[in-house]
Amino acid sequence: MERVLILSKEKYLISTNVYDNFVSVHKSLNLLEPTPLNWEGLTVDDAIKYLGIGDKSIKIKSPIDEIIIYKSHLEHLINDNDKHRKKHLNRAIRTIQAPNLIIKTNAYNNYVKLFVDDKSNIKPHLQIVKVKTDGSFYVTNFQLTKKQFKTKILEGEIIYDLSSVPSR
C-alpha cells in the first residue's frame, strides 16, 4: 500500500506527549539513523577545510532546498570555548541533508532529525538546525524540552515530514 504525502500535525497531536508520538511514528517506520561520529576538529579553519568551503560558502542540499553555509556562520558552532557544540558538526550537516521533519516558523525553518546512539534504537535523541528562511545557515545544535518541541509543532507549519514521503 502506497502512503500519501500528508503534511499534518495531527498524527503527532493524538495525545499530549507530542515528542513521544513523533519518536514513535518515525521509529515504527525505521526512520532513525545512527548518530554520526563526533567531529574532531578544533578551529573554524579546520571546519572550513573539512567541509570544503571555497572562498565564501558551501551549499548543502536538503530535501526542500539548498542551504548555504558561510565561513562566518561556522564561528557560532566552532567556538574555542565550547567543546561540546563543535563536536556536533557532522550531526548538523546530516540533519540538513536528511531531516525527519522541517517546521517553518516566522524567521526559520527548523530541521529536526532523530538519531540513535545504540543498535537497539532504544534511546533516540533530537538534533535541530535552525536555518533562515532565505536558505542561509544560521544557528545549530540546541536542545529542546518535550514541551518546547510541542510548542514548535503547534506554532509552526510542517513543510516536510519524512514519515509522509511516499516511496522514500
Question: Can you give 55-75 as a three-state secondary structure string?
Answer: CCEEEEECCCCEEEEEHHHHH
Instruction: Look at residue 100 in the predicted model and tell me its pLDDT.
Output: 94
Q: Could you tell me the residue range of the domain that residue 112 belongs to?
A: 10-164
Is 159 among the domain residues?
yes
Rg of the chain (C-alpha set): 16
Number of domains in the chain: 1
Given a cut of 80, is residue 4 above it in pLDDT? no
| Structural domain includes residue 18 | yes
pLDDT tens readout for residues 68-122: 887 777 776 676 566 666 777 888 889 999 999 999 888 888 899 988 876 665 6
Angle subtended by helix axes 89-97 and 44-51, to nearest 10: 40
**Does the residue 5 lie in any domain?**
no
4 within a domain of the structure (yes/no): no
Q: Are 162 and 99 in contact (CB under 8 A)?
A: yes
For the CA atoms of 157, 147, 11, 133, what is the dihedral angle to 10 degrees?
A: 20
- Specify the pLDDT at position 62: 92
Question: Do the domain assignments include residue 114?
Answer: yes
Q: Given the DSSP bridges, would you call strands 57-61 and 66-70 parallel, antiparallel or unpaired?
A: antiparallel
Q: pLDDT for 10-63, tens place per residue?
A: 677 666 688 888 888 888 888 988 888 888 887 888 888 888 887 777 888 999
In this predicted structure, what is the pLDDT of residue 87?
76
pTM greater than 0.75: yes
Instruction: With respect to residue 86, please indicate whether it lies within any of the assigned structural domains.
Output: yes
- Within a domain: residue 19? yes
